[in-house]
Structure 1
Amino acid sequence: MVSVALHRCRAAHPEDPTPCGGPVVVTVLDARGAGADGCEHHAARLLASLHRGRVCGLPHAAPGTAIRVFKTADGIRPFCWLDGPRTESSQLSHRENRAR
């Protein structure tokens, strides 16, 4: 079992062992509109794991924050904290799938 910090942003998956990468600055929304506020690091990892997700900057975020998270998520594999071979398109990043 991996020990994680007790206070992390809401976008951090319970099984993702990484710490937050800064303040909460965006909201990640799933295809149905349910959302979680998060730091750029966890927001990108969450967005990469969602089908048809989107990201919105919070009012206090610096300009360009949401697009930076979106671009970062493009190169992250879904549920990137899980080990194992990745061969199916659903297991690859959007960038990897476009390169196929």
Structure 2
Amino acid sequence: MTYCPAAHPEDPDPCEGPVAVTILDASNAGVLGCEHHGARLLASLDGGRVYPLPDAPSGAAIRVYRAADGIRPFPWNTTAPRVRADQLSRAEVRAARSM
């Protein structure tokens, strides 16, 4: 099975759809990815950004951005405890702060 460039080597999930977005980290290093792996990568970055490729399906970047909000960093790592704020999804952190 082949994976898009945004897929982490330890991530067992297959790609979903074509390569549609570019994910940039805080230092502007970028990688292309499908929406699924783009969201998982974006969720794992501090200061990451997402941009659609010119031929991407309409709304691809916003779908990736919204999906990443609810994904915990490094979701393929199921053995790590998830108790600190940096181990939770951005949505979980916001919810905890509003309580």
TM-score by length of structure 1 reads 0.92
Give deviations 1:3-52, integer Å, cap 9, x for gaps: xx2x2100000000111011000000000100110000000000000000
Indicate which of 26, 51, 72 corresponds to 2:67: 72
RMSD value over aligned CA atoms? 0.7
Alignment gaps of 5+ in structure 1? none
CA shift for structure 1 position 64 = 1.1
Partner of 2:54: 59
Give deviations 1:47-78, integer Å, cap 9, x for gaps: 00000000000000122110110000000000
Q: How many pairs are equivalent?
A: 95
Within 5 Å, which residues of 2 pair with 1:44-55? 44-55=39-50
Hey, what's the Cα distance between the residues in 2 that align with 1:90 and 1:61? 30
Alignment gaps of 5+ in structure 2? none
Indicate which of 1, 5, 10 corresponds to 1:15: 10
- What is the letter of the counterpart of residue 96 of structure 1? E
TM-score by length of structure 2 reads 0.93
Q: Are 2:78 and 1:87 aligned?
A: no
Hey, what's the Cα distance between the residues in 1 that align with 2:75 and 2:84? 14
Hey, what's the Cα distance between the residues in 2 that align with 1:62 and 1:14? 26
SS of equivalent to 1:33: coil
SS of equivalent to 1:25: strand
Indicate which of 29, 33, 36 corresponds to 1:34: 29
